[in-house]
Chains A and B, each alone.
Chain A
Amino acid sequence: AQTVTQSQPEMSVQEAETVTLSCTYDTSESDYYLFWYKQPPSRQMILVIRQEAYKQQNATENRFSVNFQKAAKSFSLKISDSQLGDAAMYFCAILTGGGNKLTFGTGTQLKVEL
């Protein structure tokens, strides 16, 4: 079985500043993928960024980047130049089982302040 842990229920950041959301995971599989999803107040789930476990290079998507530490089973999300539109619930997730099972963490509510 796989688990995903997000230890920060809530985080706050000032507009234009940088914030890092933490995520740790556990799996016995060697082949897996990691994701960060964003859920704004509309509750529509939106993919933010994806990381393949076999790749050492950290994924980057515009203002969003990850710090993937495979040995530590850590997958944190860094948001640079935070914007009001970044305010949302962020979920970390792991995809295992040959692409069969997507397991989510409990989420981090991010608030962006002026």
Chain B
Amino acid sequence: DGGITQSPKYLFRKEGQNVTLSCEQNLNHDAMYWYRQDPGQGLRLIYYSQIVNDFQKGDIAEGYSVSREKKESFPLTVTSAQKNPTAFYLCASSIGQPGTEAFFGQGTRLTVV
């Protein structure tokens, strides 16, 4: 079945450690996105990528980094510079053409202790 896979579903890390969240899609989509979801704040865009080897900062990119070495993969690294990393993270992908919907993964809940 085609879809977007985020792993792991739950992730715990100690403060000061970098952590990488995985996002893989087999939909042959060009565009991929990372969102952060906090209670009462909706979804906020962290990074997005329209093609391989290219990506742009979203609204809250500070403390995060991404790579897009393969079309199907868009991992997100939460660095120690991110001051409040505990959140729910959603990955999405789309064909990348105007008006097309985004398909979402099931999310990763990151807790930093």
Contacts and interface: CB of A to CB of B under 8 A. Distances in A.
Contact of A102 (B40, B41, B56, B102): B102
A33 B107 CA distance: 24
Contacts of B104: 44-45
Nearest to A106: B42
A93 B100 CA distance: 13
Interface residues of A, number: 25
Contacts of A35: 101
A32 to B, nearest CB: 9
Contacts of A101: 45, 48, 58
A102 B45 contact: yes
Interface string B15-54: 0000000000000000101010000111111001010000
Contacts of B99: 33, 50, 52, 95, 99
Interface string B95-111: 01111111010110000
B66 interface: no
A7 to B, nearest CB: 13
Interface string B72-113: 000000000000000010101010111111101011000000
Contacts of A107: 42
A33 B48 CA distance: 18
Contact of A43 (B40, B88, B96, B100): B88
A55 to B, nearest CB: 10
A105 B106 contact: no
Given A100-B56, A101-B58, 15 more contacts: A4-B42, A6-B42, A33-B98, A47-B101, A47-B102, A50-B99, A52-B99, A91-B43, A95-B98, A99-B31, A99-B99, A102-B102, A103-B59, A104-B35, A106-B40
